[in-house]
Amino acid sequence: MGWLENVLIEDKEIANERLELTDKNSLYFLGPNLSLRNCTVILKVSARNLIIVGARFFDCTFEVRQELKNHQQWVKASLKGCRFKGRLTGCDFGHWPNYGTGWEHGAIADCDFSEARLDGCRIMGADPATLRFPRWPCFTILDPIGHAPELRSVKWPGVHGDIIPDTLLQNPPATSALTYYAPAAARLLETTPEELKAVIEKFDCILY
């Protein structure tokens, strides 16, 4: 792997523009002191090529053209009225106190994930009621730590059926919602999405 070119997008306000973050040989820095409003952001780089610290996004659309995996730095951004499209795995959004430099900027409200595929993605320190989550085959557990005892009270399907309820308590206290992609979860449990859905349907704390 050669040297990466640093692309700094900071200390400015941008409105009604299209930003393409797609160069595999670039390291994109969003923030600090960056404000984007009504912009379309095209993402086609890995998490390590995308650094977010202290950026604010208002009514922006994020088109994730390449699956974005394990990107926790969304918790260093303020997201208001934004829309996400594409596949996101292991990503965190919202307000997570003391998560690295820049956590104080983290916030999420009024955002729409209905056109995204989320798997193992968490909402931290925010009200999930203001958000739109993807529907089945994704499912979202609200207040996963608080509902862990309730979710452990039933038998989940599969050889490893207890993985989901048993791991809920391992999430940080700030976790207010957790979204899974049913086919991936079913593979982990060694069951089928249909058998998984039969259990999910029993709980008011799970959106699907």
pLDDT bucket at 1, cuts 50 / 70 / 90: very low
Q: Model confidence over 54-103: pLDDT tens digits?
A: 999 999 999 999 999 999 999 999 999 999 999 999 999 999 998 888 89
Alpha-carbon gap, residue 49 to 17, rounded angstroms:
21
CB < 8 Å & 24+ apart, contacts of 203-206: 203/147, 203/150, 203/151, 205/141, 205/142, 205/143, 205/147, 205/150, 205/151, 206/139, 206/140, 206/141, 206/142
Q: Are 179 and 140 in contact (CB under 8 A)?
A: yes
Structure tokens at 20: 């393409």
Beta strands per DSSP E along 31-126: 34-37, 40-43, 50-52, 55-58, 61-69, 77-80, 83-89, 92-94, 107-109, 112-119, 121-124
Confidence at residue 2, expressed as pLDDT on a 0 to 100 scale = 58
Residue 75, SS3 per DSSP: helix
Confidence at residue 175, expressed as pLDDT on a 0 to 100 scale = 97
Alpha-carbon gap, residue 92 to 123, rounded angstroms:
6
Q: Model confidence over 152-172: pLDDT tens digits?
A: 999 999 988 889 888 999 999
What average pLDDT does the chain have? 96
The mean pLDDT value for 164-191 works out to 95
pLDDT at 33 over 50: yes
Q: Model confidence over 104-113: pLDDT tens digits?
A: 999 999 999 9
Confidence at residue 8, expressed as pLDDT on a 0 to 100 scale = 96
Q: Are 206 and 165 in contact (CB under 8 A)?
A: no
Alpha-carbon gap, residue 138 to 147, rounded angstroms:
18
Global pTM reads 0.94
pLDDT bucket at 116, cuts 50 / 70 / 90: very high
Alpha-carbon gap, residue 28 to 103, rounded angstroms:
18
Q: Are 72 and 93 in contact (CB under 8 A)?
A: no
Q: Which residue is associated with the tokens 């974005």?
A: 68
Q: Model confidence over 132-153: pLDDT tens digits?
A: 999 999 999 999 999 999 999 9
